[in-house]
């Protein structure tokens, strides 16, 4: 479609109407092509405020209706899987945490579980370490869902919810900072356990958070649920039923919003989730509204889980007893983040030569992992996060592949968008909650 300087145009029920104000008629009619004029191609992204990072969508439009949608990804590809093959097994944690940057604890835990399964030490992980993992994962799930709420709200025109969602998420990141030393990219969950114990002040903060959060959730619901614009933009929008979800490999809240209560924490439990009490929220409609409801309910379930995990925390070690695997130092938070504790440095440098040798060997060389391959999947905020790890028996991963839910779920976008309105592409895409860092890896 071209706009002419001579004729402004507008759509009516009868078709397109040109208002001619002089000039050459041929120039005006050349602007319209009766055969091909109906369709235009719009290139949305890679930089676009509502594509959750660098996602590019190519949309073929007929008026406001999307006829074809294609997504182009890879703009945030960082080669993490390749890089892992050149670092030792423990160093892997610092890489994988950067994949899906809204759910770093999940990336780390999936990786740690895979390495532990390869090592055959799954049963040796201490109870406290497992409980801390559950605690951290569920806090992370809340923060991830809060970002979803915030960004989706903003994309559909609700700016306040964006500010509120990020505000509460910051509280969780604060807790993470107290525990791990960093807001994001923690490298906290490591093969064999967790990097260090949870300090008491963090427990206090989490308790405060649990007290504050229900009120905030109520606030979000008051803001959005009864809001006619929010309802109009989400109900019956971007519908995907269970058949479609399973065929396209969609898991997580999107699948549950279509009515199937498939949650790996229940169906294929890990980290002792079978011993916790929580529900798997579902919704019958399979639309954006359903996904909103499911995610809000999941925040509540995660809070239940956090509370139970807190009650279960008993003093004890947070690393496996095997000194050939466990990181030699109890780490401590210094001014520049997490590092070896001063006592440990004093010991290896001043007192024990053997400790120094052991530290040096384990840190530079790393432990060996018996050859084999495993697949470990956990329920991340976006769905099944799977790690396929292969070892050749050396000190480095031979191959690690992440089955990233963002990557797989994004395939559903054409199925949701085609035939709908262009505005609903935004709602549908947002409801998938793709994180491009995870998608492109």
Q: How far is the CB of 338 from other proteins (least distance, A)?
A: 18
Q: Is 370 in the site for other proteins (CB under 8 A)?
A: yes
Residue closer to other proteins (CB basis): 250 or 338 = 250
Percent helix / strand / coil, the chain, rounded to 5? 50, 15, 35
Q: Is 248 in the site for other proteins (CB under 8 A)?
A: yes
Residue 329, φ and ψ in degrees, nearest 5: -110, 140
Q: Is 391 in the site for other proteins (CB under 8 A)?
A: yes
Choices 138-146, 152-160, 246-254, 316-324 (CB under 8 A): range interacting with other proteins: 246-254
Q: How far is the CB of 80 from other proteins (least distance, A)?
A: 11
> 374, 421, 422, 423: which one contacts other proteins (CB under 8 A)?
374
Query: Total residues at the site for other proteins (CB under 8 A)?
Result: 53
Within 8 A by CB and 6+ apart from 63, the residues are: 11, 38
Within 8 A by CB and 6+ apart from 330, the residues are: 196, 197, 341, 343, 344
Q: Is 429 in the site for other proteins (CB under 8 A)?
A: no
Pairwise CA distance, residues 148 & 169, whole Å? 10
Locate 418 and state its tokens: 């085609």
Pairwise CA distance, residues 151 & 164, whole Å? 11
- Adjacent-strand bridge partners of 365: none
Specify whether the CB–CB gap between 405 and 103 falls below 8 A: no
> 63, 316, 393, 419: which one contacts other proteins (CB under 8 A)?
393
Per-position DSSP letters for 86-126, written without gaps between them: TS-TTTHHHHHTTSSTT-HHHHHHHHHHHHHHHHT-GGGS-
* Residue keyed to tokens 């990786």: 111
Q: Is 286 in the site for other proteins (CB under 8 A)?
A: no
Three-state DSSP class for residue 193 = strand
> 43, 232, 373, 419: which one contacts other proteins (CB under 8 A)?
373
| Of residues 180-199, those binding other proteins (CB under 8 A) | none
> 77, 235, 312, 344: which one contacts other proteins (CB under 8 A)?
77
Q: Is 360 in the site for other proteins (CB under 8 A)?
A: no
| Of residues 306-325, those binding other proteins (CB under 8 A) | none
Locate 45 and state its tokens: 């992204």
* Residue keyed to tokens 């993470």: 176
Q: Is 375 in the site for other proteins (CB under 8 A)?
A: yes
Q: Is 82 in the site for other proteins (CB under 8 A)?
A: yes
> 398, 418, 422, 423: which one contacts other proteins (CB under 8 A)?
398
* Among candidate residues 317, 274, 270, 310, the one with its CA nearest the CA of residue 116: 270
> 246, 345, 363, 422: which one contacts other proteins (CB under 8 A)?
246
Residue closer to other proteins (CB basis): 31 or 244 = 244
Locate 411 and state its tokens: 């395939």
| Of residues 92-151, those binding other proteins (CB under 8 A) | 117-118, 120
The residues that touch other proteins, with contacts defined as CB under 8 A, are: 73-74, 77, 79, 81-83, 85-87, 117-118, 120, 246-251, 260, 262, 267-268, 365-366, 368, 370-375, 377, 384, 386, 388, 390-396, 398-399, 401, 403, 407-408, 410-411, 440-441
């Amino acid at each position: 479609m071209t706009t002419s300087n001579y004729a402004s145009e507008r759509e009516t029920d009868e078709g397109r109407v040109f208002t001619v104000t002089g000039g050459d008629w041929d120039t005006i009619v050349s602007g319209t092509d009766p055969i091909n004029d109906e369709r235009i191609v719009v290139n949305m992204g890679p930089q676009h405020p509502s594509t959750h990072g660098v996602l590019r969508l190519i949309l073929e439009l007929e008026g406001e209706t999307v006829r074809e949608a294609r997504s182009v990804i890879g703009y945030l590809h960082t080669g993490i899987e390749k890089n892992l093959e050149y670092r030792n097994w423990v160093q892997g944690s610092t890489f994988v945490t950067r994949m899906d940057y809204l759910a770093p604890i999940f990336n780390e835990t999936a990786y740690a579980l895979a390495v532990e399964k390869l090592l055959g030490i799954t049963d040796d992980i201490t109870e406290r370490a497992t409980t801390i993992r559950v605690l951290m994962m569920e806090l992370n799930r809340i923060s991830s869902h809060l970002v979803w709420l915030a960004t989706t709200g903003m994309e559909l025109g609700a700016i306040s919810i964006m500010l509120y969602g990020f505000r509460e998420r910051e509280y969780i990141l604060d807790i993470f900072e107290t525990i791990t030393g960093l807001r994001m990219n923690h490298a906290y969950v490591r093969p064999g356990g967790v990097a260090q114990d949870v300090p008491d002040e963090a427990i206090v903060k989490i308790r405060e958070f649990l007290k504050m959060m229900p009120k905030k959730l109520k606030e979000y619901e008051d803001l959005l649920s009864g809001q006619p614009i929010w309802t109009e933009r989400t109900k019956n929008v971007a519908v995907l039923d269970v058949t479609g979800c399973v065929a396209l490999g969609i898991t997580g809240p999107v699948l549950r919003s279509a009515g199937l209560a498939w949650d790996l924490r229940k169906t294929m439990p890990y980290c002792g989730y079978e011993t916790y009490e929580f529900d798997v929220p579902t919704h019958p409609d399979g639309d954006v509204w359903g996904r909103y409801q499911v995610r809000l309910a999941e925040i509540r379930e995660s809070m239940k889980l956090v509370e139970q995990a807190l009650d279960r925390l008993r003093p004890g070690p947070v690393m496996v007893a095997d000194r050939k695997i466990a990181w030699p130092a109890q780490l401590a938070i210094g001014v520049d983040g997490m590092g070896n504790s001063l006592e440990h440095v004093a010991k290896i440098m001043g007192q024990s030569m053997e400790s120094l040798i052991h530290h040096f060997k384990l840190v530079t060389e790393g432990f060996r992992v018996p050859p084999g391959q495993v697949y470990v999947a956990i329920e991340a905020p976006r769905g099944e996060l799977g790690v396929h790890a292969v070892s050749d028996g050396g000190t480095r991963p031979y191959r690690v592949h992440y089955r990233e839910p963002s990557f797989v779920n994004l395939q559903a976008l054409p199925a949701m968008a085609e035939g709908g309105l262009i505005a609903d592409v935004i709602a549908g895409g947002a409801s998938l909650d793709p994180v491009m860092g995870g998608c492109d890896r």
